Structure 1
Amino acid sequence: MSATDVTYRAATELAKMLAAGQISASELLDEHLARVRKFNPAVNAVVALDEEGARKAARAADEARARDAALGPLHGLSMTIKDTFEVTGMTATCGLEELRDYRPAADAEAVARLRAAGAIVFGKTNLPPAAADHQSCNPVFGLTRNPWNVERTVGGSSGGSAAALAAGFTPLELGSDIGGSIRVPAHFCGVYGHKPSHGMVPLEGHIPPPPGHLSQPELGVAGPLARSAFDLELMLDIITAAPELKRTAFRIDLPPARRSNLSDFRVAVWNDASAYPVDSAYAATIDALVEDLRRFGVRVVTAARPAIDPAQSFRIYMQTLFGIIGAGFPPPVREAIVAGGRTAPEGSYPRMVADAVGQSLAEFAAAAEQREHLFRVWRDFFTRYDVLLCPITPTVAFPHDVARLDMAAQFDRRIVVNGKATPYMDNLMWPGLVTVANLPATAIPTRRLVDGLPAGLQIVGPYLEDRTTLKFAQLLEREFGGFMLPPL
């Protein structure tokens, strides 16, 4: 078996190989480190290593295996972690110059749960500054390049995570998502990602907010990325837990998937540009997958929509998102954003962001009430359908545009949709449709390319029915295939 064969195996398969003694934890770690040394210079996905600590943990894992000790489901599996999470033995920078030398004293809770399950964390992966962009470039570690085409973005903010998976550096990754930060990189790099229902995975030890903060933000989640939908569920089961102060009485017990056979799913598809932009070449990849489903006998409805106003839903999302983000800005930055945006045209992105950053508590509370109504509309929609398939962004991975990395640069950037320049921040529309309603979404590759780049879609499901979207993704993978190797 070649090194490439090993490093591109699914996590579930590697766990079985480790359990059967077909490979040791130390050998697997060596394979991953060797691949990082060989290929990472071209993509810059892995930006920090704890080789000494990982080798020590791998030796201990092999010794425990030899003793036939009680072992966790990831015992001996080497992996990387997004640099938003605190991990002992390495810095936790979140791409920020002021955190360049910050070394946490404890693991983030989700990381600790992975280690308790036997995972061996050997590296950190790249992201944008403050995890706040759909490209992964920062002043600490520089630019991450897409293994499919180094001239294209890997997405963000879990861009290094997705690139590391696509390049065979790691079998699993822990990412986070508030603006598509798991789903967009999975889409751009041709891997799998799962944005859990809000509140399922502890965020203690995630940056932002700054180190030491304990409050859990609205909208934000942590979740798995992998090269298989089966691996997503394996990891999700490990990191899911009730909030720390509620564990005396609370536990999270996700219901089983609604269906066990692909042909039994009731599938809705939202794949047109009437509400949010989508490039026709990208939309065609989703349409082709829909035709595969129909030929398989799956009931698919392309005109089904939840009874929401998409424009209003997006406004509520932006108000909530930038209300949260803006609260973390230093006062001078916050004041500059508000002053600069309040003179911008109504409905423009500078104006939306300024209004959200400068909103009152009463305005934020009013948006929270509107979200409660959205929750119930979506709940009603999912009484008639099991999953909704839709795009993740308007396009596939676009060319790097990182001459400026400040927030205002995102107002000026453009992406090309159907040959026309479109505001860069339209990338938030399709992810925001899901995030504003706290819904789970599993990002999967369609196994179709646009100009040589992978195209994914998101499988959206009912709140706290994450196993339904995961099961649908797993059945698709089993019937039609999954991850494809990039030309790295």
Structure 2
Amino acid sequence: MTDTPLHRRDALQIAEDIREGRTTAVEALAHFRDRVERLNPPINAVIAHDFDGAEEAAEGLDKLMARGYCLGPFHGVPMTVKESYDLTGYQTTWGDPALKGNIAATDAVLVERIKRAGANVFGKTNVPLNLTDWQSYNDVYGGCGNPWDPSRTPGGSSGGSAATLAAGMTGLEFGSDIGASVRNPAHFCGVFGHKPTYGIVPKRGHWKSPSMAPSDIAVCGPLARSARDLEAALLAVAGDDPVYGAGWELNLPKPDKDDLGDFRVALMTTSPVSDVEQEYQDALHDLADRLRAAGATVDEREPFKVDWELYHLDYFRLFRPVTHSRLPPEKFKWFQDEVAKLSDDDDSYFAMNARAGTITYYDWAAADTRRYEYRDKWNGFFRDYDLLLCPQAACAAFPRNEDEPREVRKLTINGKEVGYNDQLFWAGISGAVYLPGTVAPIGLGRESGLPLGVQIVGPFMGDLTTIRFARLIEEAFGGVQTPPGFE
């Protein structure tokens, strides 16, 4: 083995070490087990594990390797998955105490496929209640801290996923994303994350029991310590749904550019809906300067002219019915009653959220029609530009606030108090219109010392291009850094 410890290597490097005989699947698992047992308690990112069962699986993987059989690109790599995925023998609760004891009898399709690619899944990672927060705490498992500063959030809803990766306690992770739930934790924890084009990764086995209907906007995607891991993990699980995928074939376009200097990108650093902390904007401008020096064309502009406040409101009208559909009937009825009491001029977050979550199909269909108008605008933008670069949130990871409800929380951005949920704009800019988005680390904030990431938005089915650009950034300017205390 090289002098670089396993937890500082990406998953593909670990698999290569196993193939080349520099380590074994059993030794790799033991390495990560030691780190989980020593380093997890302060951040509570890994909330369930079965190391004994995983050791048996690792022994089997090593026997296959000894006979010359390699299952796939991640053969022997120890990994975890977000709590919301069904994993045989583990409970799936989405952080909801009412679902304690809900033991999965089978693996989610994604879990089954990543195992087929050789990965050894040894545990699950923390989430917020019902996967609906940019913090990760719940009454089943407790709260999760950010390895860079445990008093700050790791993000959500795949907060445990990103924290576990950043802390070097797993080789690979999978999360899910409807409101930046992959992208936001990747940004806050300084790792790579990818939100796929809607519909290309099956969600079967990632639903809150007893629902079986795949929801609008929501996707399943990987988090990793390198961009190349993102690509390999995406390709390992993407494809048709095993029940409803008859006649369906995925053929993602291959990137046609291999150098940063070949790209033409637009940079958007703030919006009328969500201002962005100056430290973060400065980091994005610094990235733009480095890209220009590498030969890329970078234009600082919006992707197109549109009413961004309406765009954001339409995102809420499209995704809040998804989250509200998971509520108990009495809670949904309560929201309906509250909406009836609202004054017409109430534009608070609670009012916007409640109205969107109880929307009529007539109004939902109007928002859906506008979504396709927005998609046409994006298509026009991508005729002139390869990618849009933008923030993933309003700031770096903020202090944990597990006492106040989301509706009343505030953040201070550029000296001004703003709504906690305004920054969902950066989730919806690509999510509402089904576009892929990759988050790549771009360094630490000059004042905060916390990780910052760039969101790379690409055209429909342009997943491999956004990941390629992330990899070129990583190779040119550096990638994942190690939090102090987790070396």
TM value normalised by structure 2:
0.96
2:467 aligned with 1:482:
no
What is the CA–CA distance in structure 2 between the aligned matches of 1:360 and 1:70, rounded to whole Å? 52
Q: Say whether the 8 Å CA contact 2:83–2:92 is kept in structure 1.
A: yes
What is the CA–CA distance in structure 1 between the aligned matches of 2:465 and 2:422, rounded to whole Å? 28
2:467 aligned with 1:467:
no
What is the CA–CA distance in structure 2 between the aligned matches of 1:340 and 1:369, rounded to whole Å? 27
Q: What is the aligned partner in structure 1 of residue 434 from structure 2? A: 438
What is the CA–CA distance in structure 2 between the aligned matches of 1:180 and 1:220, rounded to whole Å? 10
2:224 aligned with 1:226:
yes
C-alpha deviation, 1:7, in angstroms = 1.5
2:110 aligned with 1:114:
no
- Is the partner of 2:52 in helix, strand or coil? helix
2:366 aligned with 1:366:
yes
Q: Say whether the 8 Å CA contact 1:50–1:89 is kept in structure 2.
A: no
Q: 2:232 is matched by which residue type in structure 1?
A: L
Q: What is the aligned partner in structure 2 of residue 40 from structure 1? A: 40
- Equivalent positions of 1:402-421 (< 5 A) are 402-404=402-404, 409-421=405-417
C-alpha deviation, 1:305, in angstroms = 2.1
Q: What is the aligned partner in structure 1 of residue 334 from structure 2? A: 336
Q: What is the aligned partner in structure 2 of residue 130 from structure 1? A: 130
Q: What is the aligned partner in structure 1 of residue 319 from structure 2? A: 321
Q: Say whether the 8 Å CA contact 1:265–1:298 is kept in structure 2.
A: yes
Gaps of 5+ in 1: none
Q: Say whether the 8 Å CA contact 2:70–2:118 is kept in structure 1.
A: no
Q: What is the aligned partner in structure 1 of residue 270 from structure 2? A: 272
C-alpha deviation, 1:160, in angstroms = 0.3
2:57 aligned with 1:57:
yes
Q: 2:194 is matched by which residue type in structure 1?
A: H
Q: Could you give the per-residue CA deviations for residues 116-149 of structure 1, whole angstroms, max 9, x where no partner exists?
A: 1111100100010010100001101111111111
What is the CA–CA distance in structure 1 between the aligned matches of 2:4 and 2:413, rounded to whole Å? 36
Q: What is the aligned partner in structure 2 of residue 424 from structure 1? A: 420
C-alpha deviation, 1:304, in angstroms = 4.2
C-alpha deviation, 1:289, in angstroms = 0.8
2:20 aligned with 1:23:
no
Q: What is the aligned partner in structure 2 of residue 182 from structure 1? A: 182
Q: What is the aligned partner in structure 1 of residue 147 from structure 2? A: 147
- Is the partner of 1:118 in helix, strand or coil? coil
C-alpha deviation, 1:274, in angstroms = 3.8
Gaps of 5+ in 2: none
The 1:5–1:70 alpha-carbon spacing in structure 2 relative to 1, beyond 3 Å, is closer
What is the CA–CA distance in structure 1 between the aligned matches of 2:285 and 2:27, rounded to whole Å? 43
Q: 2:421 is matched by which residue type in structure 1?
A: M
Q: Could you give the per-residue CA deviations for residues 225-259 of structure 1, whole angstroms, max 9, x where no partner exists?
A: 00111110010001101233443311111000131
C-alpha deviation, 1:3, in angstroms = 9.6
The counterpart of 1:214, out of the listed 209, 212, 215, is 212
2:309 aligned with 1:303:
no
Q: Could you give the per-residue CA deviations for residues 5-39 of structure 1, whole angstroms, max 9, x where no partner exists?
A: 11121111111111111110000000000000010
2:285 aligned with 1:291:
no
- Is the partner of 2:5 in helix, strand or coil? helix
Q: What is the aligned partner in structure 1 of residue 169 from structure 2? A: 169
- Is the partner of 1:145 in helix, strand or coil? coil
Q: Say whether the 8 Å CA contact 1:183–1:443 is kept in structure 2.
A: yes
The 1:380–1:326 alpha-carbon spacing in structure 2 relative to 1, beyond 3 Å, is same
TM-align CA RMSD = 1.5
Q: Say whether the 8 Å CA contact 1:3–1:31 is kept in structure 2.
A: no
Q: Say whether the 8 Å CA contact 1:439–1:461 is kept in structure 2.
A: yes
- Equivalent positions of 1:395-406 (< 5 A) are 395-404=395-404
What is the CA–CA distance in structure 2 between the aligned matches of 1:291 and 1:418, rounded to whole Å? 23
Q: Say whether the 8 Å CA contact 1:268–1:385 is kept in structure 2.
A: yes
Q: Say whether the 8 Å CA contact 1:25–1:61 is kept in structure 2.
A: yes
- How many residues are aligned here? 482
- Equivalent positions of 1:76-95 (< 5 A) are 76-95=76-95
C-alpha deviation, 1:358, in angstroms = 1.9
Q: 2:12 is matched by which residue type in structure 1?
A: T
Q: 1:160 is matched by which residue type in structure 2?
A: G
What is the CA–CA distance in structure 2 between the aligned matches of 1:202 and 1:338, rounded to whole Å? 32
What is the CA–CA distance in structure 1 between the aligned matches of 2:136 and 2:270, rounded to whole Å? 28
What is the CA–CA distance in structure 2 between the aligned matches of 1:218 and 1:410, rounded to whole Å? 22
What is the CA–CA distance in structure 2 between the aligned matches of 1:200 and 1:183, rounded to whole Å? 17
- Is the partner of 2:41 in helix, strand or coil? helix
TM value normalised by structure 1:
0.96
Which 10-residue stretch deviates more, 52-61 or 66-75? 66-75
What is the CA–CA distance in structure 2 between the aligned matches of 1:113 and 1:245, rounded to whole Å? 15
Identical columns (%)? 39
Q: What is the aligned partner in structure 1 of residue 386 from structure 2? A: 386
What is the CA–CA distance in structure 2 between the aligned matches of 1:374 and 1:273, rounded to whole Å? 17
What is the CA–CA distance in structure 2 between the aligned matches of 1:67 and 1:12, rounded to whole Å? 21
Q: Say whether the 8 Å CA contact 1:81–1:175 is kept in structure 2.
A: yes
- Is the partner of 2:74 in helix, strand or coil? coil
Q: Say whether the 8 Å CA contact 2:137–2:402 is kept in structure 1.
A: yes
The 1:262–1:206 alpha-carbon spacing in structure 2 relative to 1, beyond 3 Å, is same
Q: 2:481 is matched by which residue type in structure 1?
A: M
Q: 2:248 is matched by which residue type in structure 1?
A: F
Q: Say whether the 8 Å CA contact 1:258–1:386 is kept in structure 2.
A: no
What is the CA–CA distance in structure 1 between the aligned matches of 2:241 and 2:312, rounded to whole Å? 28
